[in-house]
Structure 1
Amino acid sequence: MKQIPLAIGPEPVFTFDNFLPGANEAVLAELRSLRPGASFAATVPPIFVWGQSGSGKTHVLKALAGSWQGAGLQVGWYGADTPLPWDLPAQPSLLLLDDCERFDAGQQHAAFALFVEAASDGLTIVASGSAPPVDLPVREDLRTRLGWGITFELQPLSEQDMRSALRLEAGRRGILVADDVIDYLLTRFARDLKHLMALLTRLDEFAMSTKRAVTVPLLRQMLADEGLNP
């Protein structure tokens, strides 16, 4: 009988320190430099970060949220999976809009309303999407607001950086991952770091449930059990 593992593994941690920047040093420098508006009457230009799936957009937004919350500031998070209505925190300083390309009509209306609120209260907005604002499938007034400030493209990590990221996450989970396991992940699956991290999480849980070490044969067995081609 296969044991069902309890959800006792460490939750993902999203910080600037555990984000491998690769060619994205300028993005991180800009986000780290953000400070609350000096005047509530000021209009703070937004920042828009875009890139392909798994490039780290959500990671950097969550890292930014964590750094502001750590300083005692209120952050509002609004993603495509955040149900309406989108209410502001009691004393907001930073508003984050994630996966803008997935916003439905109601969420697009709510996002535009947040921009109006931000303009009047001097709030900072940082948003993300899969494409630059000009190419997003959103209403024109929202597209204009998203593209008004600085726009950054997150560049994909190199293979070496991918390996480093997987090893960093494995070490955080306390599991030993040999080179052949990482080779298998990088050669058999799309180099989408978000997807690869999810695979690593499932592999860790599967190893705990079977009480076996993390190896390529174990990875193949997990994929076969999931109905995937190992």
Structure 2
Amino acid sequence: MEQMALAMSLTDEPTLDNFITGAGNRLALAAVTQQALENGEWYLYLYGNQGCGCSHLLQAAAAAVNEQQAGSAVYIALDTVVNRLPGEVLEGCDEISLVCLDNLQAVADRADWQEALFHFYNRCRDGGGAKLLLAGNSTPQRLGLSLADLESRLSWGIVIQLHELDDEEKLEALAAHGRQRGLEITAEVGQFILARSPRHIAELLTVLERLDQASLTEKRKITVPFVKAVMAW
């Protein structure tokens, strides 16, 4: 049967269920899930190159806690708030269940933020406050932090590297996110997209979003000729 275009686009917001682990990221997903929804580690640090899934897992963990009423959680991308006062951003965060701080590399040249994060970490650890799920683009030792005490604290807990998906796993991710949107992304279409699009999973999902909107507008299923036309490939 030909795919029927839906009347509205379905979203693929980051969730723990739609995170494609591939062969290398099963440990990370299990650790994050246990921390968010079970009696897991109070502190986790994830790192990896852009597109490896750190931001997905942090956003998904915060959403899972809030949606399942397992407490309260917040996700903060530090690169978007680094020019604000640290105390203003972090106020009250140590009193909630889970705090997800992304893009730690953004504070590498900000002594005020490093000092604030050092004290925030200590309050959460010593006062039985929020669990911490942090992520950066490299290990704590290679973030370029000027505050040695903060670097030391970030290295104390579980540190897990995320790995980029291989091509087969990216095809699986495209198909899975397509299904969530009500789209059928065949192997032929997926391989065509992968051969022409930038390879980061975030960019592949941006292509999928564009195809989804075009499919809804034109009421057509996703085929190679359709992808060619929409993406001007």
Aligned counterparts, 1:157-176, within 5 A: 157-176=165-184
State whether residues 47 and 138 of structure 2, in contact with CA within 8 Å, keep that contact through their aligned partners in structure 1: yes
State whether residues 36 and 93 of structure 1, in contact with CA within 8 Å, keep that contact through their aligned partners in structure 2: no
- Structure-2 separation of matches of 1:176 and 1:36: 31
Larger CA deviation: 118-127 vs 191-200: 118-127
**Residue 28 of structure 1 corresponds to which residue in structure 2?**
29
The alignment's TM-score, normalised by the length of structure 2, stands at 0.79
Alpha-carbon displacement from aligned partner over 1:11-63 (angstroms, at most 9, x marks no partner)? 3232222222222222222222227999xxxxx76311111211111121122
Q: 1:214 to 1:107 in 2, by over 3 A?
A: farther
- Structure-2 separation of matches of 1:88 and 1:76: 11
Q: Match of 2:176, SS?
A: helix
Q: 1:35 to 1:20 in 2, by over 3 A?
A: closer
Percent pairwise identity: 26
Unaligned runs of 5+ in 1: 1-6, 39-43, 225-229
Higher helix share: 2
- Structure-2 separation of matches of 1:143 and 1:218: 50
Q: 1:202 to 1:153 in 2, by over 3 A?
A: same
**Residue 145 of structure 1 corresponds to which residue in structure 2?**
153
User: What is the RMSD computed on CA atoms of the aligned residues?
Assistant: 2.8
**Residue 41 of structure 1 corresponds to which residue in structure 2?**
none
- Structure-2 separation of matches of 1:124 and 1:166: 32
Q: 1:30 to 1:176 in 2, by over 3 A?
A: closer
Query: Aligned pair 1:54/2:61, yes or no?
Result: no
**Residue 17 of structure 1 corresponds to which residue in structure 2?**
17
Q: Match of 1:49, SS?
A: strand
Q: Match of 1:81, SS?
A: helix
- Structure-2 separation of matches of 1:88 and 1:137: 27
Q: 1:159 to 1:71 in 2, by over 3 A?
A: same
- Structure-1 separation of matches of 2:115 and 2:20: 34
- Structure-1 separation of matches of 2:106 and 2:229: 34
Unaligned runs of 5+ in 2: 1-6
In the TM superposition, residue 195 of structure 1 has moved relative to its aligned partner by 1.2
State whether residues 37 and 124 of structure 1, in contact with CA within 8 Å, keep that contact through their aligned partners in structure 2: no
Larger CA deviation: 46-55 vs 186-195: 186-195
In the TM superposition, residue 134 of structure 1 has moved relative to its aligned partner by 1.2
State whether residues 74 and 89 of structure 1, in contact with CA within 8 Å, keep that contact through their aligned partners in structure 2: no
**Count of matched residue pairs:** 214
Query: Aligned pair 1:187/2:195, yes or no?
Result: yes
**Residue 227 of structure 1 corresponds to which residue in structure 2?**
none
In the TM superposition, residue 174 of structure 1 has moved relative to its aligned partner by 0.9
- Structure-2 separation of matches of 1:26 and 1:129: 17
Residue of structure 2 aligned with 1:119, choices 116, 125, 136: 125
- Structure-1 separation of matches of 2:42 and 2:70: 22
- Structure-1 separation of matches of 2:122 and 2:209: 40
Q: Match of 1:185, SS?
A: helix
The alignment's TM-score, normalised by the length of structure 1, stands at 0.80
